[in-house]
A and B are shown apart, each in its own frame.
Chain A
Amino acid sequence: MRWSLPTVAVAPDLKPNLWDLALIPVIFALLALLAYGSTQMTTPYDVGEKLALSLDPVNLPYYLLRSALRMAAALLASLAFTLVYATLAAKVPALEKVLVPVLDILQSIPILGFLSITVAGFIALFPGNLLGVECAAIFAIFTSQAWNMTFSLYSSLKTVPNDLIEASKVFHLSAWQRFWRLEMPWGMPGLVWNMMISVSGGWFFVVASEAITVSGQTIMLPGVGSYIALAIAEKNLEAIGWAILAVLAGIVVYDQLMFRPLVAWTDKFRVDTAPGEQRPESWLLTLMQRGRLFRALAKLPGLVWDLTAAGLRRRRPEAPEFHATDRLSLTLPAWASHAWDALLILATVAALVQVGLFVHGSVGLIEMGQVLLYGLATTVRVVVLIFLASLIWVPIGVWIGQRPMVAQNVQWIAQFLAAFPANLMFPVAVLLILRFDLNVDVWTSPLMILGTQWYILFNVISGAAAMPQDMKDAAGNLGLSGWLRWKKFILPAIFPSYVTGAFNAAGGSWNAAIVSELVSWGDTTLRAVGLGSYIAKATVDGDFPRIALGIAVMCLFVMGFNRFLWRPLYMRAADRVRLD
């Protein structure tokens, strides 16, 4: 398990070979784009000033670049956050008590609610510069990406196999060495996988977060999202078509240039691979690993590592014969631990009182009850839609999953569709609703699940594809057919995958409620009754107490669902299909 790209020194000269030739232009082009895009982020700007935005498709590549850069910045920030937060949570039990539940709550907060609350702060941070608004947008995307990554690393850090820990102790690794040589590599596959999920979900929020409302004014950052917002305002369907194409291109580029290489690379950190399993592949990584120059470059991290290690050694001239074993975690003495607990309880009580006063003062109990009812309305939508989507996608997913040739292609398409920001399709829905004069409360609902139903499909596909051949043969030999086959064999077998998919779909739908219960086309605005439209309206009005209340209530609903429905369901399902 090496942290650097592995290399085998065959030819010591650095002459580039053919592989390098193919790769160098790609790298330079990327660097140039990166530099150009980032200088554009820091141009002077004052609130109220209108940023030039045009619907000419010629500008789209540039807008796409800006959006993609925001995504990249958010991803970097998420990574940094993950490293610090997950490590602290895993290593310091006193902090773990706070950090893990806080993360759980953060995860359930509707992301789009963040934007309006934070943007003012960021603008104040960089007065007279566009960077403040950029930061707010990036922050919104960050909040859609960071939590699952952090959870992934945290749980990896908590589950490092004991024999590997013991081995690292026997060989006297310092805590620093152990982190980079053991714990990080161990958590790598999970982290990269979650990064991919994050970016895939991130496109939705890129589109939603670029048009920001501050104190009644709308700032449109140059980007695909603003382009779409403008197209909607100007009722330009053609422009929307172009935007869809641009986003598709963005998704493909991210997938090919970043995630395929990363996933293929992290394959080496996997401790065991099931025989016959396809190893992930990436043309870019292959180029890099075969190119001579890149093989040489890949040695750099290893060199830096060796130098720092040498530096550390110099500071500790004599290695003691008995190594004082580094503690795995930082524990406090008993009295401090108790004091900390008391402090936490105190803080919670204080916060509760504060919230009670706030709500009573600025919103009132009656409206609070009303908001809860809105929450119920949105809940009904989510539940009904998940149910309907399941009815459609479970049989289709099972059918596809049992045909490996079809599954390979469809799986990719489904993941792609999940990454595709469904909010791009909203204008079409508005047009249809207006055209046929449909009930707004009912017919805006499908928008919530438009982008998230794919989670159900591709999880069911992978569940069905993973059914052991022997079990299928046994079902065949016993003559199972029709409903009995579904009831006793197929449904139980795919249930854990289905629950995972439905859980993700439901989570995404809650978030999507904020943009789908209040949709517009030109100057027509359709509003469905629900918690999502409540938050969306409060955001447009810049009404902070109501935004906060709406978000808190939605957060409560989501957490309740996770805690009392999805988690128990998943545990039960996973336990039932387990054989050992």
Chain B
Amino acid sequence: MAEITAAPTALLDLRGVRKTFRTPERHERTVLEGVDFKLEEGEIVALLGKSGSGKSTLLRIMAGLIKANGGEVKYRGRPITGPARGISMVFQSFALFPWLTVQENVELGLEAAGIGKAEREERANEAIDLIGLGGYESAYPKELSGGMRQRVGFARALVMRPDVLLLDEPFSALDVLTSETLREDLVELWDERKIPTKGILLISHNIEEAVSVADRVLVFSSDPGRVRAEIRVNLPRPRDTESAAFRQIVDEVYTLMTANVRGGGLGAAEQLTLGYRLPDTTPGKMAGLLETIAEAPFHGRADLPQLAEETELEDDQLFHLFEGLRVLGLARIAAGDIFVTPSGQAFVEAEDAYRKDLFAEALVKNIPLAAHIRRVLDERKDHRAPEDRFLQELQDYLTDDEAERVLETAITWGRYAEIFDYDYNAGVLMLPEEVVEEMEAGDDIHDDTDLRE
């Protein structure tokens, strides 16, 4: 660390960055913890991570839009205290001003910088032509397609002749074809030095996109967010996404991303807590994916990138699915492959009704929250309990929003398994009617605490 003074200063230099948020109910949640990151001159870096891992927060810290709670954030050696002139940003939602025309949108930053009208117009026209928007100067954003709108977003950022370009998932709101074209155009501008930008940071949750653009890919982990691994991509651009070398790097990133899933997954060994963040997915989707893996051409073992291609699911969704199957013990992941476990196999082969029983069994056995809800409902005399009760318990571990999402997920899973039911209007969880009837019938014989087998 002594060489910092000798080496040329990095464009962006982050050390030990920490960020916590406080919810209205005063629960504190750490979003980022000990993040170290450098963006050097002349490189494109991609930051990959699941949704909600805090990567957008990190980007906004670099943009000077929010302040870190701890650590150092420097731009060309100077601490960032607010939005820096040399740093421009492109947004996932485009964030254009609908009441301004394309030209006015692009000129806005220059106007804020106090640049005169003539120069503003000239530079705006230049940027508009550069990004392929010529002829649309007087159009309002609402008249443009999604791809064209994002071009305005890029023009607005590039017109500032930025040193650093921060891209917050700029392609993920676009369809596949449009996003590929726009991405290629950007890379071309960069490689042919048509823009004065010295470094680009791209945030993404699409592995292939990251590998096809970046010189370095960083894998970001969540809870709390930090940089977990780094992969260099030493392939010349434009990159052939079908080449073996490219495929191998994609495979490597998949392995890293899924290893992120706690413990690498030998199934039952790991003990989850009540506050475990259930992955945001549904039993129907998990069943569908499990079937796909079990059937040809995978026959119970699938290469992750291949599976991604076959199912046409977004990486983000896929990771949630993997996590769900894994914690339920229906599949396990090792070395970039996913395997169907024996209980997974039994699930795939079972009839619909029996599947529910197997799912219920796996749920109660592996997910503490589901088991806890069921136990409470069994013990209550009227077999009903308000959701607030469980929400409060979850809020000891999670933010309010996240607690709500986790409980919602638990309810979806529990309903599929028919181990409990939910009254949306009253906000009450309860045992399903049939279960209660069964219990009452069997009440004289034995205790009502056992689950259906």
Q: Is the beta-carbon distance between B91 and A478 smaller than 8 angstroms?
A: no
Chain A residues lying within 8 Å of B156, measured Cβ to Cβ, are 474, 478
Q: Does B135 contact A (CB under 8 A)?
A: no
A480 CA to B82 CA in the complex, in Å? 12
Q: Does A6 contact B (CB under 8 A)?
A: yes
A280 CA to B401 CA in the complex, in Å? 15
Q: Does A35 contact B (CB under 8 A)?
A: no
B-contacting residues, A459-494, CB 8 Å: 468, 470-471, 473-474, 476-481, 484, 488-489, 492-493
Please pick, from A265, A484, A580, the residue contacting B112 in the complex, using a CB distance under 8 A.
A484
Chain B residues lying within 8 Å of A484, measured Cβ to Cβ, are 111-112
Of all chain B residues, the one with the shortest Cβ separation from A287 is B426
Please pick, from B97, B100, B104, B109, the residue contacting A479 in the complex, using a CB distance under 8 A.
B109
Of all chain B residues, the one with the shortest Cβ separation from A478 is B109
Of all chain B residues, the one with the shortest Cβ separation from A473 is B65
Q: Is the beta-carbon distance between A477 and B65 smaller than 8 angstroms?
A: yes
What is the distance, in angstroms, from B110's C-beta to the closest C-beta of chain A? Answer: 9
Chain B residues lying within 8 Å of A477, measured Cβ to Cβ, are 63, 65, 83, 87-89, 109
Chain A residues lying within 8 Å of B433, measured Cβ to Cβ, are 8-10
Q: Does A286 contact B (CB under 8 A)?
A: yes
Q: Does B24 contact A (CB under 8 A)?
A: yes
Assess A289 versus B425: contact at CB under 8 Å? Given A10-B383, A474-B91: yes
What is the distance, in angstroms, from B25's C-beta to the closest C-beta of chain A? Answer: 11
A286 CA to B425 CA in the complex, in Å? 8
A484 CA to B120 CA in the complex, in Å? 15
Chain A residues lying within 8 Å of B160, measured Cβ to Cβ, are 478
Assess A471 versus B95: contact at CB under 8 Å? Given A276-B401, A477-B65, A479-B113: yes
Chain A residues lying within 8 Å of B91, measured Cβ to Cβ, are 470, 473-474
Q: Does A5 contact B (CB under 8 A)?
A: yes
A170 CA to B251 CA in the complex, in Å? 51
A342 CA to B421 CA in the complex, in Å? 62
Chain A residues lying within 8 Å of B24, measured Cβ to Cβ, are 405
Q: Is the beta-carbon distance between A10 and B382 smaller than 8 angstroms?
A: yes
Stretch at the interface among A110-118, A195-203, A208-216, A571-579: A571-579
Q: Does B85 contact A (CB under 8 A)?
A: yes
Please pick, from A17, A405, A474, A578, the residue contacting B382 in the complex, using a CB distance under 8 A.
A17
Chain A residues lying within 8 Å of B94, measured Cβ to Cβ, are 470
A276 CA to B401 CA in the complex, in Å? 8
Q: Does A290 contact B (CB under 8 A)?
A: yes
Of all chain A residues, the one with the shortest Cβ separation from B430 is A10
Chain B residues lying within 8 Å of A5, measured Cβ to Cβ, are 425
What is the distance, in angstroms, from A12's C-beta to the closest C-beta of chain B? Answer: 10
Q: What count of chain B residues pass the 8 Å CB interface test?
A: 46
What is the distance, in angstroms, from B68's C-beta to the closest C-beta of chain A? Answer: 16
A481 CA to B83 CA in the complex, in Å? 11
What is the distance, in angstroms, from B364's C-beta to the closest C-beta of chain A? Answer: 21
Q: Is the beta-carbon distance between A8 and B89 smaller than 8 angstroms?
A: no
Q: Does B274 contact A (CB under 8 A)?
A: no
A468 CA to B423 CA in the complex, in Å? 33
Per-residue contact bits, chain B 422-445, to A (CB 8 Å; 1 contact, 0 not): 011111101101001000000000
A471 CA to B96 CA in the complex, in Å? 7
Q: Is the beta-carbon distance between A11 and B88 smaller than 8 angstroms?
A: no
Chain B residues lying within 8 Å of A492, measured Cβ to Cβ, are 97, 99-100
Of all chain A residues, the one with the shortest Cβ separation from B166 is A477
Q: Does A268 contact B (CB under 8 A)?
A: yes
Chain A residues lying within 8 Å of B151, measured Cβ to Cβ, are none
Q: Is the beta-carbon distance between A489 and B109 smaller than 8 angstroms?
A: no
What is the distance, in angstroms, from A263's C-beta to the closest C-beta of chain B? Answer: 13
Please pick, from A286, A295, A578, the residue contacting B98 in the complex, using a CB distance under 8 A.
A578
Please pick, from B93, B98, B109, B421, the residue contacting A576 in the complex, using a CB distance under 8 A.
B98
Of all chain A residues, the one with the shortest Cβ separation from B383 is A10
Q: Is the beta-carbon distance between B83 and A476 smaller than 8 angstroms?
A: yes
What is the distance, in angstroms, from B295's C-beta to the closest C-beta of chain A? Answer: 34
Q: Is the beta-carbon distance between B142 and A290 smaller than 8 angstroms?
A: no
Assess A470 versus B401: contact at CB under 8 Å? Given A478-B112, A478-B156, A484-B111: no
Q: Is the beta-carbon distance between A478 and B425 smaller than 8 angstroms?
A: no
Assess A479 versus B430: contact at CB under 8 Å? Given A6-B423, A484-B112: no
Chain A residues lying within 8 Å of B49, measured Cβ to Cβ, are none
A-contacting residues, B370-385, CB 8 Å: 382-384
Of all chain A residues, the one with the shortest Cβ separation from B111 is A484
Chain A residues lying within 8 Å of B98, measured Cβ to Cβ, are 576-579
What is the distance, in angstroms, from A492's C-beta to the closest C-beta of chain B? Answer: 4
Q: Does B30 contact A (CB under 8 A)?
A: no
A579 CA to B149 CA in the complex, in Å? 10
Q: Is the beta-carbon distance between A579 and B112 smaller than 8 angstroms?
A: no
A9 CA to B383 CA in the complex, in Å? 12
Of all chain B residues, the one with the shortest Cβ separation from A404 is B24
A473 CA to B94 CA in the complex, in Å? 11
Chain A residues lying within 8 Å of B401, measured Cβ to Cβ, are 276
What is the distance, in angstroms, from A192's C-beta to the closest C-beta of chain B? Answer: 15
Q: Is the beta-carbon distance between A10 and B436 smaller than 8 angstroms?
A: yes
Q: Does B92 contact A (CB under 8 A)?
A: yes
Task: Known A-B contacts: A9-B433, A479-B113. Give 5 more (CB < 8 A).
Answer: A405-B24, A470-B92, A481-B112, A484-B112, A492-B100
